[in-house]
Structure 1
Amino acid sequence: MIGKEVIETKPISGAEVKEILEDFSNDNELNYEQNLTLNHLARFKRYSIEDSKEIVEKLQDEFGLRDKVAVHIVDLAPKDLADLRLIFAKEPKKIEKEEMEKILEFLEQYDIEE
């Protein structure tokens, strides 16, 4: 990547990445890494893009989570406390069990697309 520099980084959900790659592939040929990423994203169930953005926003506002953690939660769609604990394992901010249960209840409001 000679001559290129990163201007901004922002975590985005897998649903958004999938849409970006699909749109890009309509006009361009995907390279090897892009093809692998698109194939990987197509294999797993995901929230819709609208739901993903809404969930990330609410996780940040209501639960005070960082962008990166909120996006991990959306991408992994945890179903129980054990899964959610793994996401928070390396977080400096300690999350209480009650708050994790509230997050799981919140996620149950949204449907995962097949």
Structure 2
Amino acid sequence: MIGKNVIESEPIPGVKVKEVIEEFSEDNELNYEQNVTLNHLARFKRYSVEDAEEIIEKLQDEFDLRPKVAVHIVDLVPEDLDDLRLIFAKEPKQVDKEEMEKILELLEQYDIIE
């Protein structure tokens, strides 16, 4: 990749990546990496694209989370406090138990696609 620079980097949820790869595969043949990514993303439960984007926005606005952390929460679909603690383990901003419970309540309002 000589001569190429990253201009912008933004975390996006896996469900959005899956949607983009599926749209691309309608007109093009996928390479090995794209096939592996698509197969990996198809194995996990997730939210719809619209729900994922809405959850990320609420996590950033209501809980003041970084975009990367909000995307991790949406991608990993934590089911309990222990799962959330793992996500926040290396974060500089510590989230208390009450906020984590509110995050779990927020996630429960949305349907999961299996």
TM-score scaled by length of structure 1: 0.96
Root-mean-square deviation over aligned CA pairs: 0.9
Q: Tell me: CA distance 1:28–1:2, structure 2 relative to 1, closer, same or farther (3 Å).
A: farther
State the aligned residue count: 114
The equivalences for 1:15-34 within 5 A come to 15-34=15-34
Shift in Å, 1:3: 3.9
- Describe the superposition over 1:49-83 as per-residue Cα deviations: whole angstroms up to 9, x where unpaired: 00000000000000000000000000000000000
The equivalences for 1:17-96 within 5 A come to 17-96=17-96
CA distance in 2, matches of 1:53, 1:6: 24
Task: Give 2:43's aligned amino acid.
Answer: R
CA distance in 2, matches of 1:5, 1:32: 24
CA distance in 1, matches of 2:7, 2:90: 27
CA distance in 1, matches of 2:19, 2:64: 27
Task: Give 2:26's aligned amino acid.
Answer: N
CA distance in 1, matches of 2:93, 2:2: 38
Task: Give 1:97's aligned amino acid.
Answer: K
1:102 matched to 2:83 = no
Q: Which runs of 5+ in 2 are unaligned?
A: none
State, as a whole percentage, how many aligned pairs show the same letter: 78
1:9 matched to 2:9 = yes
CA distance in 1, matches of 2:71, 2:39: 20
Shift in Å, 1:2: 3.4
TM-score scaled by length of structure 2: 0.96
CA distance in 1, matches of 2:41, 2:81: 24
